[in-house]
């Protein structure tokens, strides 16, 4: 049987190579995945698998939210996952869970298409107080566009840079012998503050979906892209100015109040 099967395989390959144009069929081009938003509605999840909390993460006290970007195939299966905002000890557990989720197919012009959507998984240690996260009220399409805007206008990169600077400031005041696991725990604690989710909630609160779309259109222009790419550096320089000049300015103002006898004792 194995010899027969091998012979059939060789014969099939040979005939295909001998007449490439006779029975060749055109390959249907792959449909490009579309992002949730506008007319593309978020699909309904029909199978949910909760993430398993890694022992290493529990021992390190790691908790918080992992935000992923998932690609849902035309049949509703998750075909690709990437980390948007993660926690190193929890990222893989989140990815492994989301890859097992199943959604209803998304139709565009009556045909199933792959879609890209953002999902958030929350990890909370047993006995720990819940980390409050804002709950935006906008539609899934609006929230997806807000997250896209945060990428374009540099807000996400600025938030990451602010976290780096905060940790650097704390490190500068710590003893050299501080063990690495302390810094890992502090970093996880910062990520558990849901800084990006607060930004999403604020944009949802103060701007309409049409305004969000207008912002996106601007930040997709050359000038908008240049502004968005420069925002993290602008924020860093602004914070450096405040840190270097702020204390002296505050002292000068307080001295003036003190000299006039207007400062509280």
> What is the per-residue pLDDT across 57-114, written as a single tens digit (0 to 9) for each?
888 888 888 899 999 999 999 999 999 988 989 999 999 999 999 999 998 888 999 9
Answer whether residue 198 shows pLDDT above 80: yes
Mean pLDDT, to the nearest integer, of 131-144?
79
In 48-189, where do the E strands start and end? 64-72, 78-85, 102-103, 106-108, 111-113, 115-123
pLDDT of residue 24: 41
8-12, 194-198, 228-232 — which is least confidently predicted? 8-12
Evaluated on CA atoms 134, 135, 137, 142, the torsion sign reads positive
Per-residue model confidence as pLDDT tens digits over 155-195: 888 887 887 888 888 888 888 888 777 777 777 667 656 67
d(CA 128, CA 61): 10
d(CA 171, CA 139): 41
Structure pTM? Answer: 0.49
CA distance 232 to 226: 11
Percent of the chain scoring above 70 in pLDDT: 82
Q: State the Cα–Cα distance between residues 211 and 215, nearest whole angstrom.
A: 6
Contact 123, 95 (CB under 8 A): no
As its CATH architecture, domain 31-131 has 2-Layer Sandwich (3.30)
SS3 percent helix, strand, coil of the chain, rounded to 5, is 50, 15, 30
In the chain, what are the domain boundaries? Answer: 31-131, 134-254
**Least confident span in 19-28, 29-38, 145-154, 175-184:** 19-28
* Chain Cα centroid distance, residue 77: 20
Q: Which of 84, 62, 68, 94 has its CA nearest to residue 187?
A: 62
Confirm if 184 and 62 have CB atoms less than 8 A apart: yes
């Amino acid at each position: 049987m194995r010899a027969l099967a091998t012979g059939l395989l060789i014969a099939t390959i040979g005939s295909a190579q001998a007449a490439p144009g006779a029975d060749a069929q055109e390959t249907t081009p792959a449909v490009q995945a579309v992002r949730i938003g506008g007319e593309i509605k978020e699909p309904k999840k029909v199978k949910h698998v909760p993430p398993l909390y890694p022992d290493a993460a529990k021992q390190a006290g790691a908790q918080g939210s992992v935000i992923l970007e998932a690609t849902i195939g035309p049949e509703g299966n998750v075909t690709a996952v990437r980390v948007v905002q993660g926690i190193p000890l929890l990222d893989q557990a989140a990815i492994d869970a989301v890859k097992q989720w199943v959604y209803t197919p998304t139709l565009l012009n009556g045909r199933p298409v792959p879609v890209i959507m953002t999902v958030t998984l929350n990890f909370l240690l047993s006995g720990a107080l819940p980390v409050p996260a804002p709950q935006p009220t906008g539609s899934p399409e609006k929230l997806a566009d807000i997250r896209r805007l945060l990428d374009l206008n540099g807000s996400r990169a600025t938030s990451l840079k602010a976290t780096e600077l905060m940790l650097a400031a704390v490190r500068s005041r710590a003893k050299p012998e501080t063990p690495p696991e302390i810094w890992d725990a502090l970093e996880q604690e910062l990520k558990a503050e849901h800084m990006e989710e607060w930004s999403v909630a604020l944009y949802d609160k103060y701007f309409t979906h049409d305004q969000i779309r207008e912002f996106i259109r601007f930040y997709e222009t050359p000038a908008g892209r240049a502004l968005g790419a420069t925002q993290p550096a602008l924020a860093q320089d602004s914070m450096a100015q405040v840190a270097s000049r702020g204390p002296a300015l505050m002292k000068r103002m307080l001295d003036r109040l003190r000299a006039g006898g207007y400062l509280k004792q």
